[in-house]
Amino acid sequence: MTKSKRDLPPVDWTGQTFTVKIEKVAHGGIFVARHEGRVVFVSHVLPGETASVRVVEDKGGAFCRAEPLEILEASADRVPQVWKAAGPGIAGGAGGCEFGHIKLSRQRELKSDVLEEALSRMAGIERRVEVEALAGDDEANGLGYRTRVQLKVDAAGVAGPVRERSHEVVEVRDLPLAVDEIRELGLHQKNWQDVERIEIAASNTGQMQWMIDKKVKGDERLIERVAGRTFRISAGGFWQVHKKAAETLTTCVNDMIAAGGLDLNAPNLDLYGGVGLFAGAIAAKFANRVKITTVESSKQATKDAEMNLADLPAVRAVCKQTDGFLAEQISLAKSGTVDFTEATVILDPPRSGAGGKVVNQLLKLKPKQIVYVACDPIAVARDLKPLLTGGFKIASMRAFDLFPHTHHFETVVHLQRV
């Protein structure tokens, strides 16, 4: 009697070594190879390379994970790893620089590959979008851009990044992706006792702040100057990581809004609005009297938004979960109290995306246009499918390399109601 696959014992290749040909990039900064009918996800390699690999994780399913032991045939796009601590190894290197062995221009091509596949597979969209470099990154080889850094501290008091796929702290001498102000502060080179986490931030107006667990050191509040406006951010508050990201994104969002036409008196929305970055930038470009409601679930960020937008008479900051706020607006729209058909909606959700509930609520409100700012290609592709079938079309789409030497990037989509 022939056994089915279900009856066979699970496969476990952990510790095995073999040679593979790398086929393509996958979401998450890993690369796809195949061996004996199974998918092998390999880190620190490039498409087209041949590598000797060792399996480091195998849960017995259709795939396993491996690390390269030796690159037998190297890609022409391979360069020396920009951060030695993040290099390959059976235990994995420091996280946060998984593309550091790849030429910058090729990194962006690979990110375009990931976005193209996500759009096709998740939303049925056949579209190639170039991932654009931010000004100055090519000249700096993608280094010195991070204005926010998180370090974990181990039991011995060593502060550093966390090793890939683990909670282990990696001791490092330098933080090459960070701006000079953070590197020169040197907190990663000091010994810390009875501390679990250190968060460091530098503003574009010269403030420095670091949090030792929850104790704030340096400047109590950071001041950022973007799009002709000043934004104040409380300790631990969210701000874009790349030193030029806020300016790049606000310019892109405003250009898309202008292309679709902004009704200053419509009930415009800035969802997941944080400290008011997009609402403030829109007001600075179009008119101080523009009507916008910025919605944010964090109480502290909402307080910051109230302060940052206080001079704008028609802008208000609301502290609520986005789906709860939209449910209220749907009721008001049904009663005829408010009409969203000429409204512009900015959508800047967390990495998990807006999700089905919020997307369906937006479809009920039927705004004139949506500008979706996304930090995950899978999430935005998933959310685009119901938006496109629900009456919207893609007017334009851009992508930006806000995180050089990592697999992360940002996508901005301009949607118009058909």
Catalytic positions are: 375
Dist. CA 122–CA 128, nearest whole Å: 14
Q: Which two tokens stand for residue 72?
A: 């037998």
Question: How far apart are the C-alpha atoms of 192 and 207, rounded to whole Å?
Answer: 23
Q: How far apart are CA 58 and CA 98, in angstroms?
A: 21
Give the integer Cα–Cα distance in Å for 290 and 319.
20
DSSP 397: E
Residue 138: DSSP 8-state:
T
Q: For tokens 């990037």, name the residue.
A: 409
Phi, psi of 128 (to 5 degrees): -110, 125
Closest Cα partner for 276 from 239, 222, 247, 313?
239
Angle (CA) 312 232 287, round 5°: 25
- Give every CB contact of residue 24 below 8 A, 6+ residues apart in sequence: 31, 32, 47, 113
Among candidate residues 185, 172, 248, the one with its CA nearest the CA of residue 219:
185
Which of 354, 416, 355, 357 has the alpha carbon at shortest distance from 391?
A: 416
Tokens 């996500």 belong to 118
Going edge to edge, which strands form the sheet with 392-400?
Answer: 131-132, 392-400, 410-417, 369-374, 344-347, 268-271, 292-296, 315-319
Give Cα separations from 92 to 42, 86, 245, 289, 329 (angstroms). 11, 8, 29, 53, 48
